[in-house]
Amino acid sequence: ELAQPILKSLAEKTAETVDLARFNRDHMVFINQFPGAHRLQAVSAVGDIFPMHCTANGKAALAQLVDETIPKILGDNLRIFTTKTIGKLDEILNEISRIRETSLAIDIEEHTLGICALGMAFKDRARQVYAVSMPIPTVRFATMRARCEPLLVAAVQSIRHKLEQRPRSHDSR
């Protein structure tokens, strides 16, 4: 509930879909979504499960974890979804290293042809990993990327700030 107004505002500012997903063992689970205003939009259902290695939210979440756990999470056989899916662990680890430098993860048709995405992850006080992502149809991605990136960063920073300001449940007794 803390992130909802921020995510809704991001969707309104960009007219693109905004998703919130939670890391769960070896995948991401969509827990909230605000659909974009465009007629052509990328939407998924709350509860849908997405892979870690080829989605913006999954890669952003992996960048929040220590390197030693990543091979265990991904396993030995990385499923190839499109011709652009990264299927080698060393290449994924290199990409995660780049994500850690910028905090932004990108999926350029790695999971679904015709859909690109931006993603950024954060941890709550319980150290649970969440990711905000913006799936954007490929035909708009190049023009929307520069506009959406700073807005996504600001939104996730705002969520982090609210999490830091929120009193712990045992603190309010």
pLDDT on residue 169 = 57
Give the separation between CA 162 and CA 73, rounded to whole angstroms: 29
Residue 95, CA distances (Å) to 16, 18, 63, 121, 134 in order: 25, 23, 9, 15, 19
Tens digits of residue pLDDT in 55-67? 999 999 999 999 9
Largest CA distance in the chain: 54
pLDDT on residue 159 = 96
Are the C-beta atoms of 157 and 12 separated by less than 8 Å? no
Are the C-beta atoms of 129 and 22 separated by less than 8 Å? yes
User: Is the model's pTM score more than 0.75?
Assistant: yes
Over residues 84-90, the mean pLDDT reads: 95
Mean pLDDT of the chain: 93
Tens digits of residue pLDDT in 103-128? 999 999 999 999 999 999 999 989 99
Are the C-beta atoms of 154 and 2 separated by less than 8 Å? no
Give the separation between CA 141 and CA 164, rounded to whole angstroms: 32
- CA nearest to 4, candidates 165, 12, 144: 12
